[in-house]
Amino acid sequence: MGTVNRLIVIVLFEGVDLLDVTGPPEVFSLVPRETPERVGYEVALAAETLEPVTTAAGVRILPDTTFDEVGARAIDTLLVPGSVEVEGEVEGEGERRIHPVVEPGTVARVKALATRARRVASVCVGAHILAAAGLLDGKRATTHWSTAQRLAADHPAVRVDPDPIFIREEGEVWTGAGISACLDLSLALVAEDFGEAVALRVARQLVMYLKRPGGQSQFSVPLEQVSTTRRIEDLRHHILNNIGRRLTVPDLAAYAHVSDRQLTRIFKTELGTTPHAYIEAARVELAGNLLETTDDTLERIASRCGFGTVDTLIRAFRRRLATTPSEYRARFR
């Protein structure tokens, strides 16, 4: 009996991010080695023509097939990578603005191929292509944190969540966050297809965790959006330095010498969140670090991080990371 392969089609276009294209096949290629059954994947790189495609890294890739050719086949998974363009020059210590590449021809091809696919998945800013094709309407989706606001603004019908590493929605639509998270997304696809045990063995070959929980944050609290005022930076440092203590809006407002209402407005404007949400995120971040690096009990961690009780700690983890502190420790210790 021959090997039974699931066809995975990866969409190519000029300027595509290299790791978005090459990362997932590295994961998929290990499946036959890690299962006794004759199963695996067939990965096909598809483009408009068979001419080499130049990636954002300058490396050229040869397509395996054209969109027209692969469109005649039954596709198991359509994988859509992304790309960004940089606008303007850096001024002072500012950053260049980036925007996702959404070429109408690619969008049309993705929309057509999706009708032939059992499931569709995007990597990084590839979510913008799925959204433009109407495949994310009414669904929750993620993308690289740097373009999440743009995705939400351009596609109001999409419920954008910039925090998770990947999201799976009904109808077999998956979206993944920025670049290296394509490996986490790929492992999740392997686990769905062939089980957690196979995914675990693949992860070990790659020297990775089995998979980071889909709800795990893309980045740590201290690395969130940089604020533009010294006042909010002082507040953030004050929160981190006093994370185990009682922190309320009146307390923070008094520290910053502003009213409660003005404090809330400052957080919303500068960080896009509320003081309460920011404090909780900072506490979850610290608790995660303690779970990974210490043998502290949950009671001790809850106290050190300002949660007060283990129940409060657990609720915050479920809300922020879609997991429990114990599950988090088991995965990341």
Given a cut of 50, whether residue 287 has pLDDT beyond it is yes
Whole-angstrom distance, CA of residue 8 vs CA of residue 31:
13
Please state which of the ranges 45-49, 120-124, 126-130, 239-243 shows the lowest mean pLDDT. Answer: 239-243
Give residue 247's pLDDT: 93
- The tokens for 295 are 């043998």
What's 210's DSSP letter?
A: S
> How many Cβ atoms are within 10 Å of 215's Cβ, its own excluded?
19
Q: At residue 312, does pLDDT exceed 50?
A: yes
Identity of the residue numbered 167:
I
Residue of 322, 296, 295, 318 whose CA lies nearest to 244 = 296
How long a stretch of residues is the chain? 333
- pTM score, whole prediction: 0.67
Q: State whether residue 294 is helix, strand or coil.
A: coil
Q: Are 266 and 225 in contact (CB under 8 A)?
A: no
Query: Does 139 or 293 have the greater pLDDT score?
Result: 139
Q: In Å, how far are 153, 165, 187, 290 from 325, measured between CA atoms?
A: 34, 18, 22, 10
pLDDT of residue 3: 61
Identify any residues that bridge with 6 across adjacent strands, giving them in sequence order. Answer: 41
Radius of gyration of the chain, Cα coordinates, nearest whole angstrom: 22
Tell me which of 276 and 86 has the higher pLDDT: 276
Report the number of secondary-structure helices (H) and strands (E) in the chain.
14, 13
Angle at alpha carbon of residue 59, lines to 53 and 61, rounded to 5°: 40
The rounded distance, in Å, linking the Cα atoms of 181 and 81 is 12
Residues 274-299 have a mean pLDDT of 91
In sequence order, which residues have a C-beta less than 8 Å from that of residue 33 and are 6 or more positions away? 205
> Which residues are tagged catalytic?
124
% of the chain exceeding 90 in pLDDT: 58
Per-residue pLDDT tens digits for 177-209: 876 778 888 988 998 999 888 888 888 788 664
Give the pLDDT of residue 180: 73
Q: Which helix (H) or strand (E) holds 259?
A: none
Q: Rounded distance, CA 213 to CA 111, Å?
A: 29
pLDDT of residue 143: 93
Please give, one letter per residue, the 3-state secondary structure of 101-153. CCCHHHHHHHHHHHCCEEEEEECHHHHHHHHHCCCCCCCEECCCHHHHHHHHH
Contacts of 254 (CB under 8 A, 6+ apart): none
Q: Who has greater pLDDT, 267 or 9?
A: 9
Q: What is the pLDDT of residue 215?
A: 52
Place of tokens 């990597």: 123
Distance in angstroms (rounded) separating the CA atoms of residues 257 and 37 = 66
Which of 212, 253, 249, 207 has the alpha carbon at shortest distance from 27?
A: 207
Q: Which of 194-203, 215-224, 257-266, 280-289 has the lowest mean pLDDT?
A: 215-224
**pLDDT, the chain, mean:** 87
